[in-house]
Structure 1
Amino acid sequence: MADHAKPLAATVGDPAGVGPDIVLAAWAQRQQAGIPPFYVICDPDFLVDRAAAMGLAVPIASVMPSEATSTFEQALSVVPLGARFSRQTGRADQADAKGIVAAIDRAVEDVVTGVADALVTGPVAKKSLYDAGFDFPGHTEYLAHLAEACTGAPAFPVMMLAGPELRAVPVTIHVPLAAVPGLLTQDLIVQTVRITHNDLRRRFGLARPRLAVSGLNPHAGESGAMGREDVDVIAPAIEQLRSSGIEAFGPLPADTMFHPQARAAYDAAICMYHDQALIPAKALAFDETVNVTLGLPFIRTSPDHGTAFDLAGSGRARPDSFFAALRLARQLADRQAAAS
């Protein structure tokens, strides 16, 4: 952690899920897990009650963000949220939606204004947000909206699953599989790869990223015998990227992209749809993989799992991915600061 560093800003996500549990665990295991200083934007009394229910001796300190680093060793630093969270676990409550969104709003404001160095978000359940009038497909799209509102510049968010053995990027994300072929365009692939390339250089410190691009169809389409998308859309996108100096190659059959020898040849895999990217990433390292949003004017990481309502408050939720998200956010922020 650099001397000039600010703390990380964190949210618990849905309070009925495991988000509060893994935040509390991060502070409780801060020394052995190498957790960098962070503060969480939350209802302090809610965290006091959740810690007590879990039998965790985690002192809670209500602080301003500027005080978070100095208090971090003595207590979990909490920037109070005006909204109060319900105390139920295991089921999302529409009444919590206002506070969930308010915490995200404040966290983004903090990173945009330089109060915090990066944002680490807890998992949310989309249905309760939708029921409360939330008009965005998901967390990532809302973050892009906030980034545009804060900076006035358009944001094109790209999801990356970053683990110790694989970085994987889906070109299309939360859409039905049947819709994917119609959504894939040469421009979408080119824009996704360019953002990935730029962030791998700027934040991950890779001088010349190698990007493997998957095909859409089995065997990457068998030269058009199993679908034309690989020939007519993906291959021209790769040619365009290579002509601009980006080291992209493919389209590759997805079923042979993820064994150890194949992974050694690239720094990130660009995949055509959600499960094509997320299945190998989570199969290789479910507990250590981090969701990173590329293409934003600030750093955002998140654990790669959901709310796990069935584990909330039980103490059985594994916090490893949240720990990894905190550590990666700190590394990316330090590297970006050093390069600027």
Structure 2
Amino acid sequence: MIEIDGSRKSGSGTIVRDAVSLSALALQDLSLTNIRAKRLPKPGLRAQHLRGIEAIADLCQGRLEGASIGARAIRFFPGRTIRGGRYAWDIGTAGSTTMLVLCVLPLALYADRPSCFHITGGLFQDFAPSVYSLQHVLLPLLKRMGAEIELRILRPGYVPQGQGRIVLDVKPLKRPLAPLNLTDPGKLLSIQGIALSSLLKERRVSDRMADECRKNLQAQGYSVSLELLYDTEESPVYEKPAAQAGAALAIWAKTDTGCLLGADCAGAPRRSSEYIGRKVARSLTEALQSGTALDVHVADQIIPFAALAEGWSSFSIPEVTDHIESRLWLVETFLGAKTELSNSTLRIRGIGYRKNPA
């Protein structure tokens, strides 16, 4: 049994999600203690973490012990086979659906059949990637590594009510993931984005976020093409209108060397549309001016996939966050991947993971 102290490194939910996911792939029993010890005043499992590890157990027919809201320690005994098929998970709160995607996606790539996941919860909130970030930055990079994944929004969902719905379709890999090599930032080709608001059309929230973002990027010499989306009771953009008013802005940049960098921000009470536009423009500008190939968030999200790939992956990153440190520690511990960090270049020697036999 691998023992993981969840208070180490970031002391966050990243350790919970990755430890259980990698445990399932490595077929190693797990004892996880001090869960989210640094996330005061509410340490332990929250609803989104609990639903994520329960989803992992569903996929691999594994067994969880001690897993409940607020739990500070759990044990996990993975099953021997990852079962694809149709699954539905409801976080029950506005907890992040994208974080649940990052829990199950590594397993679904090695399932015994294609998978279709219907996930209900929050789509846009602080401290989690937006669905647009996954759709337009992370998933295209994984496609380059050989993955076939489609992520769709059926209904937006915001804090505090959630009730957003997404669908994730994943085809099992036919061969190991290919390594990803992105160290040259290259020249900027385009900046695109989406300004979404629900039940706020009369306040022109999408327009205002987009206008402020454009103005701030233009001041730095950049231009951006932004799609405006409004979800209203009269003219819903999605299958069903959102349960509450809310907003989100996401933009992403493409370069001639294949780099993808993104930035996003969700709406919140007393957070103006103009503030969101400025914040997103500033974040992307900083990412572009860092001279690196990945933004800081995708740099940590890509680590488990690089560790599963066959051979060395290399990418330049703007900084080493505690989330990056956590993920490097976990892929070394569970998979035996080798990692090297020199200046701003992160290198990972993946293990060429292949599907477990039934």
More helix by share: 1
Question: TM-score scaled to structure 1, two decimals?
Answer: 0.30
More strand by share: 2
TM-score by length of 2: 0.29
Greater relative contact order (Cα < 8 A, sep 6+): 1
